[in-house]
Amino acid sequence: MGTAEKNEPPAPGATRLHVGGKLSFRRRVRQVADRDLPCIDLTEHPPPLERLVPEQFDTVEIEVGSGKGTFLLAAATAQPDVFFLGIEAAPGYARYAAERLQRASATNGLLLVDNAKLYLEDRVADGSVARLHVYFSDPWPKRRHRKRRFFTPEMGDVITRVLRPGGYLLCATDNAAYAGQICRLLGESEGLVRDAAEERRLHEAPPGHGFVPTSFDTKYQEQGRIIRRYAYRRP
């Protein structure tokens, strides 16, 4: 696997696999060697969510595309009674994020190497997720690549199904065109309602409760980019 040296982030060119056939994707991902890390990669047969959550946790949140684990670590530290699963397609990034959790002794967080869209579709039971975090997912700006985006027409139903009643999808992007697509797709979903009050509340909340911190958020704010953050609730 593409490993990162301990205490160093992966190289910027680390491979990020995108949606393809289920087996072809899962066969291309090589197994994480260090069993002591809170990181799982079972390639073709990732375990369902219910098998990953320790029995003492009643609340589960998932982050799609955890990258270097900045938000996942902050969330696991800020909310020790919540179990956090980070799904990351790049093994090097997943390992690095898992090392950060391990160094912080955060036992309520876990990394899974897999395609997040496929995992939500076939490994997450109905109503089992309290909050789904999707921050700065790749906008795939070229038209021929847009089918690789996380937010595609079928995902509205998938998100609604996996969220528990009262659960939230929280997302952020700096890409105006992608933001428009997200709002359009989720706005057309009968099972999701945008919650502006929750957006304002999380804007004032401490780090690790929603939206921040992420590496991209910090970088883009320093560059003066406009960041759009949305909260959609399952009634």
Binned at pLDDT 50, 70 and 90, residue 11 comes out as very low
Report pLDDT digits (tens) over 71-95: 999 999 999 999 999 999 999 999 9
How large is the average pLDDT for residues 174-201? 96
Catalytic machinery residues: 138
Q: Give the β-pairing of 228-233 and 193-194.
A: antiparallel
Per-residue confidence (pLDDT) for residue 150, from 0 to 100: 96
How large is the average pLDDT for residues 116-120? 96
Q: What is the pLDDT of the chain when averaged over all its residues?
A: 87
Report pLDDT digits (tens) over 89-115: 999 999 999 999 999 999 999 999 999
Report pLDDT digits (tens) over 142-168: 888 888 899 999 999 999 999 999 999
Given a cut of 80, whether residue 16 has pLDDT beyond it is no
108-140 in b/e burial notation, b at 16+ Cβ within 10 A?
bbbbbbbbbbbbbbebbeeebbbbbbbbbbbbb
Per-residue confidence (pLDDT) for residue 35, from 0 to 100: 54
> Sheet of 59-64: strands edge to edge?
39-40, 109-113, 82-88, 59-64, 129-135, 163-173, 228-233, 193-194
